[in-house]
Amino acid sequence: MGKYPVTQAQWSAIATRTDLKVERDLDLNPAGFKDFEDSQERPVERVNWYDAVEFCRRLSKLTGREYRLPSEAEWEYACRAGTTTPFYFGETITGELANYCASTTYAEEPKGQFREQTTPVGQFPPNAFGLYDLHGNVWEWCADSWHRNYEGAPRDGSAWVSDNDNRYPLRGGSWSFNPLFCRSAYRDDVIIIARGGINDDSGFRLACGSGRLPQFEFETVTVNRRGEIIKRERHRAAYFTERIALVFDRGIPEMNESSSTEQQGESELAVPLEMVAIPGGTFMMGSPDGEGYDRETPQHEVTVPPFFMGKYPVTQAQWRAIAARTDLKVERDLDLNPARFKDREDSDERPVEQVSWYDAVEFCGRLSKLTGKEYRLPSEAEWEYACRAGTTTPFYFGETMTGELANYCASTTYAEEPKGQFREQTTPVGQFPPNAFGLYDLHGNVWEWCADSWHRNYEGAPRDGSAWVGDNHDNRSPLRGGSWYNDPHNCYSTYRDGYIVARDDIDVNFGFRVACGSGRVL
């Protein structure tokens, strides 16, 4: 559920997106209280039920998630947040706790100020669920049809919809109503209005189901030491998609037609970024004795919580979409496309390279500001756990790799496989078989930055999957996975390069992929 009622800034951002129109046009800002310095943070009002539904549908198209109005049951449950008192504050309400007509009292509280207008969201205390402004400020539309009481109402929290009335309930009271109308349970036919009706204190907040994420199907392969496929398996993985949307002028390099559309003299970018659900689990991190290098030892047990990881390394199209957003800058400017391999027909789908650790962190910071989720680089433990996907062989393919399975210097062999092609450049992401978690390109294509500081081995490493961050006196961080340039001995799952690099270094094979905690998806 929305932390706050929808603000004027949020409304305008969706109302301007005429390309997302479902059924009706939307006023860019219908609010009566829009000429104040803090108007953007105030709730939008003067929106009818149909307008609110159109907003939800446009946002759903933009994000790929199903946004909607809450049912009355959901609204009241969320408002109460476990309380049984008239208000989530307790037995009464005051002007210090909410924006309503506080010159009228409910119980024995002193009279307060009648502000006579909306206030910016989030100025008053939240309830136990962390929701703000459910008492007062603006009435909030619900998805149900109006019913005069709860006789026959559903008991599963769903919206009670019927075709016998063109009215829908509003809940929560507003800036202009006395406290009786602002109670958690309040519903009255004085307040219900036709779906097409508007007034200067009717707004809404969003709801979104927390059900299962969509899934995609894929096939994995397993090879023997000769590089021969000995097994094929079908898998499914859950994921969600961020859509990095941006309108920019022609001074910024254009995207390929597959990534953008032209509209009213501007190029509108909407680039998908798919995040795959990685289940939590325990694995042995590092190389066993007698295999690999000392820097990959001691092998130790690590328990990794669930998280999300980019299906692919960050592409040039995704990079440009964020680098162009200077309004989201955290600490540093970003080159619009630093990649060496950017002048190809398929460059948008190739991984970005020639990015430093600091550049990658800036990208994550901007993406976090844009989406409200906490994007970051994966820890080394997360990276290796995600790469292995339950395997214990050198590669997630099995005992070796071939040029048909990954982009690396395949003219050099690892085991008994035949020599293959050395492509001498990056390739578009997703062209080679994934692992059992549904992740692509973890072996080869580009090295991937991790969040940790560099440590010469795993002595003292954390066992909870977190990044091992030291005092950073040497300003170095690890890269994992190998690249198009490297032979297979640099591309196996546990490999940690002895050529450790500074965080501000760049090269034609340095890239990254993003991670996101599982608690920050919706």
Question: Could you give the strand order of the β-sheet that contains 170-171, starting from the edge strand earlier in sequence?
Answer: 170-171, 139-141, 202-203
Domains of the chain: 1-211 (3.90.1580.10), 215-520 (3.90.1580.10)
Taking residue 225's Cβ as centre, other Cβ atoms within 10 Å add up to 12
What does the pLDDT read at residue 473? 64
**DSSP calls for 38-70:** TGGGSBP-S--HHHHHHHHHHHHHHHSS-EEPP
**DSSP calls for 391-403:** --SSBTTBS---T
Which 3 state secondary structure label does DSSP give 307? strand
- Residue type at position 361: V
Asked whether the beta carbons of 55 and 6 are under 8 A apart, the reply is yes
What does the pLDDT read at residue 455? 93
Asked whether the beta carbons of 352 and 314 are under 8 A apart, the reply is yes
Scan for tokens 């994921």, then name that residue: 239
What does the pLDDT read at residue 493? 97
Which 3 state secondary structure label does DSSP give 480? strand
Q: pTM score > 0.85 for this model?
A: no
- Residue type at position 90: G
Q: Are strands 281-285 and 375-376 parallel, antiparallel or unpaired?
A: unpaired
Rounded to the nearest 5°, which phi and psi values hold at 355?
Answer: -120, 140
CB-based burial, 302-334: b 16+ in 10 Å, e otherwise? bebeebbbbbbbbbbbbbbbbbbbeebeeeeeb
pLDDT in tens, the chain (522 residues): 999 999 999 999 999 999 999 999 999 999 999 999 999 999 999 999 999 999 999 999 998 788 999 999 999 999 999 999 999 999 999 999 999 999 999 999 999 999 999 999 999 999 998 999 999 999 999 999 888 899 999 998 999 987 666 788 899 999 999 999 999 999 866 555 666 677 889 999 999 876 668 899 999 999 999 999 999 999 999 999 998 875 444 343 344 433 333 333 333 457 999 999 999 999 999 998 878 899 999 999 999 999 999 999 999 999 999 999 999 999 999 999 999 999 999 999 999 999 999 999 999 999 999 888 999 999 999 999 999 999 999 999 999 999 999 999 999 999 999 999 999 999 999 999 999 999 999 999 999 999 999 999 999 999 999 999 976 566 899 999 999 999 999 999 999 976 778 999 999 999 999 999 875 444
Rounded to the nearest 5°, which phi and psi values hold at 520?
Answer: -115, 30
Question: Angle of helix 357-371 relative to helix 316-323, nearest 10 degrees?
Answer: 70
Which of 502, 495, 500 minimizes the C-alpha distance to 442? 495
Residue 364 token pair: 């994550």
Task: Please state, in angstroms and rounded to a whole number, the distance separating the CA atoms of residues 29 and 59.
Answer: 16
